[in-house]
A and B are shown apart, each in its own frame.
Chain A
Amino acid sequence: MSEAAPIAVAMSGGVDSSVVAGLLHRQGNRVVGLTMQLWNQRRLPELAPEEGVTGRCCSLDDVYDARFVASVIGIPYYVVNFEERFEQQVVKPFVEDYLAGRTPIPCTLCNNFIKFDQFLEMADGVGADKIATGHYARLGFDDKTGRYQMRTSVDAGKDQTYFLFGLTQEQLARTLFPLGGMVKTQVRDLAKELRLPVAEKHDSQEICFVPNGDYAAFIDAYFKEQGLDPAATQGEIVDSEGKHLGRHSGAHHFTVGQRRGLRIAAGEPLYVIATEPSSQRVIVGRNEQLMRSSLFAREVNWLSIAPPAEPRRARVKIRNKHVAAEATLQPTSNPIRVEVRFDQPQRAVTPGQAAVFYDGDLVLGGGWIE
């Protein structure tokens, strides 16, 4: 075959990935559009959204949009079904994490195990060397170290590097993020310029398979579908001395730092300090009890730099919307476990979330908070 290898674009039916496909095609590349069918939105009927709610991934409307966009651009387009893998590698761990007292990030799991793994394999199938997605992040190659590097998006409000810390060098070598150097308004302008029918479409929600962001309702519904009783997750609310303060309707309704939904009358505001899976207890306390000056990150992946042997200064994000805090990364005897020592104590360090390390706009790496 003399033709150049095509680029496989992951198309969700949203503005961002549509622009990626349109842009790469305009630049003269051979482009194939693929939509990953990840979750059947009709599967848990009690979560059925009200009429008119759109913009969730894998809804039929989004697939129609993606197909329509591909036909407008004039590229081949396919839908690929990853539903079983998505359930095994994203949904189940998501539910289990909550039950284990952690607050998971399904988007990172999806990136690690679906979008930059199964999807790459699918790209191989169509003979595509490279894949492209609408993520807001920048990629480059450092000649000195011979490593691919990731930098934060030019649009700080849209930056998605927090969810991408788990990618390997092999994955980065085959990935394009054409939107990393743009701000959202530019992307929307491009969508209009390319006459894409989704130019005015709303941005999607945070967790694609959870309607309205109500993950607790999702877990309850999923439990019932699996023949489990959501009521079995109920338990006691106690203070840090173990004193009984009330009852809760399931630990998965709570995340560290949360104040809402505790329904306890107390003299001062109370926050969730931790959830204890073994006893199903939710431990609450005062705001200052949420402050931590260090954390351990496990399964650390070094993205843009080789694993450092010495302590290293970095700015560390412990939640997507967290303002990165100055810290020292302290290696431990385990090469993929790092201690993060903050200069200033940080509020609500939450097990299951990621700690992602930055040096300026460079994404050094990250791991899961223990």
Chain B
Amino acid sequence: MIAALREVYGNPSSTHSQGQAARQRLEAARRTIAEALGASSAEFVFTSGGTESNNLAILGILRALAGKPRHAITTAIEHPSVLECFRQLEREAFEVSYLPPDRHGMIDPGAVANALQPQTALVSVMHANNEVGTVQRVAAIAALVRECRAAGQEIYLHSDGVQALGKVGLDLDVLGVDLYSVSAHKIYAPKGVGGLYVRKGTPLHGIQLGGRHERERRAGTENVPGAIAFARAVELCSADEPIRCSTLRDRFEERILAIEGVERNGPLAGRLPNTSNLLFHGISGEALLIALDMQGMAVSTGSACSSGSIEPSHVLLAMGRTVDEARSSIRFSFGRYNSAEEIDRLAEVVIACAGRLRKAKAREVQLV
């Protein structure tokens, strides 16, 4: 990518030879990524990342269907870049059904079937949840949507695949979605690039105004070095990595779940290989996060709000956890560059910090 920044400086929309060289590299990158997703080049639009992909998918398709259908279905556990689009649509007099998950964070395809209406235009269900890792039954939901379409309804399926890319086997043709969002930095490429899969024949209006880039679906000069890096990161994804990662994760969970008052959030199986969301009863997740960070270990609780403070996770609340339980939960994510030794060290530090926090808590309670 550093070479690309230096050497591929042309604007891919320019006619001159430097521009043509950039165009070639951009299209080669697009082909690599599209193939890895089981799609064709024309079906892949580069964006600035997951948030833009989700915005483009949801707002773009509903603008393309302007005025006709007035209902959409999504879930209560989507990423804010999905949920906020639907909240905006509600303000524009659109009707939206938010499906609740079960206690493991799973959306029942039967609930989707029940929520479908003749005027439903869009279903948006994330492929894998970012906080607890639950992998949704997207193919089953896609079958429902296809049935409606076969009956003459104009209806499309979007899935936010930002967390799933590189962690679950992916063939979008088999999955059966019409729109699928991905982000490059989730597979170790730089931040600031992502993409949207748009199945052939799916109507989509660009949501930013400007030039006719990306087949009029995304105005703005393409991030060529980002695209090249994205493609390279896709090539570097190994099929064995998810298994290695889940082995590390399970080793960690086994040790932590052995201490008293710790529970898993999310399912044991049917989960992303890198995610472990744990509830430490009676401990502030924020305090544990800070204590771990002070020891050089970066973990997270819910999603950080704009101030950097932490709201109780809407995902855990939707799964039936109380506010206190949500505030006592921490998400551990493991990755390609974590070793078994690091995992063991992390487990040790987590156990020590949790113990210290429990003692501190007991002391405060005594004082009262």
Contact = CB atoms under 8 A, between A and B. Distances in A.
Interface of A: 6, 32, 34-35, 37, 58, 60, 63, 67, 76, 78-81, 84, 117, 120-122, 124-127, 168, 170
Nearest to A1: B295
Interface string B338-368: 0000000000000001001101110110010
B288 interface: yes
Nearest to A120: B364
Contacts of B288: 125
B307 A125 contact: no
Contacts of A63: 307-309
A62 to B, nearest CB: 9
Interface string B280-318: 000010111011011000000000001111110000000
A121 B307 contact: no
Contact of B287 (A6, A60, A79, A121): A121
B308 A125 contact: no
Given A60-B306, A122-B286, A117 B294 contact: no
A159 to B, nearest CB: 26
A127 B356 contact: yes
Interface string B86-112: 000000000000000000000000000
A122 B364 contact: no
Contacts of A122: 284, 286-287, 290
19 contacts: A32-B290, A58-B307, A60-B307, A67-B308, A78-B286, A79-B307, A79-B308, A80-B286, A81-B327, A121-B364, A122-B284, A124-B356, A124-B360, A124-B363, A125-B284, A125-B353, A125-B357, A125-B360, A127-B291
Nearest to B288: A125
B323 interface: yes
Contacts of B356: 124-125, 127
Nearest to A34: B290
Give the dominant DSSP class at B's interface: helix
Contacts of B294: 6, 32, 76, 126-127
Nearest to B294: A126
Contacts of A37: 307, 309
B323 to A, nearest CB: 6
A78 B360 contact: no
Interface string B257-300: 00000000000000000000000000010111011011000000
A311 to B, nearest CB: 30
A126 B287 contact: yes
Contacts of A80: 286-287, 290, 309-310
B293 A76 contact: yes
Top 7 closest A-B pairs, CB basis?
A: A125-B287, A124-B360, A37-B309, A79-B309, A81-B309, A79-B308, A63-B307
Given A35-B309, A78-B308, A121-B287, 12 more contacts: A37-B307, A60-B306, A60-B307, A63-B308, A76-B293, A76-B294, A79-B308, A121-B284, A121-B361, A125-B286, A127-B294, A168-B367
Nearest to A6: B294
Q: Counting chain A CB atoms within 10 Å of each CB, which of B284, B293, B327 scores highest?
A: B284
Contacts, number: 73
Q: Counting chain B CB atoms within 10 Å of each CB, which of A32, A37, A58, A126 scores highest?
A: A126
B6 to A, nearest CB: 31
A76 B292 CA distance: 12
A35 B294 CA distance: 16
A124 B353 CA distance: 10
B348 to A, nearest CB: 13
Contact of B291 (A34, A79, A125, A170): A125
A127 B299 CA distance: 18
Nearest to A170: B367
B367 A81 contact: no
A58 B306 CA distance: 12
A276 B294 CA distance: 53
Contacts of B309: 35, 37, 63, 79-81
Interface string B147-177: 0000000000000000000000000000000
A78 B307 CA distance: 10
A124 B357 contact: yes
A334 B294 CA distance: 47
A84 B323 contact: yes
Contacts of B357: 124-125
Contact of B311 (A6, A81, A127): A81
A114 B340 CA distance: 40
A76 B290 CA distance: 10
Nearest to B357: A125
Contacts of B323: 84
Q: Counting chain A CB atoms within 10 Å of each CB, which of B284, B294, B307 scores highest?
A: B307
A125 B284 CA distance: 9
A81 B360 contact: no
Interface string B19-33: 000000000000000
A360 B294 CA distance: 43
A329 to B, nearest CB: 26
Nearest to B310: A81
A126 B291 contact: yes
B93 to A, nearest CB: 21
Contacts of A125: 284, 286-288, 290-291, 353, 356-357, 360
Contacts of A79: 307-310
A121 B360 contact: yes
A241 to B, nearest CB: 46
Q: Counting chain B CB atoms within 10 Å of each CB, which of A37, A76, A81 scores highest?
A: A81
B259 to A, nearest CB: 17
Contacts of A35: 309
Q: Counting chain A CB atoms within 10 Å of each CB, which of B294, B308, B359 scores highest?
A: B308
A32 to B, nearest CB: 7
A125 B355 CA distance: 10
Contacts of B367: 168, 170
Q: Counting chain A CB atoms within 10 Å of each CB, which of B286, B291, B311 scores highest?
A: B286
Contact of A126 (B290, B308, B364): B290
A32 B294 CA distance: 9
A78 B364 contact: no
A177 B170 CA distance: 58
Interface string B311-341: 1000000000001000100000000000000
A81 B312 CA distance: 9
Nearest to A78: B290
A60 B308 CA distance: 9
A78 B309 CA distance: 8
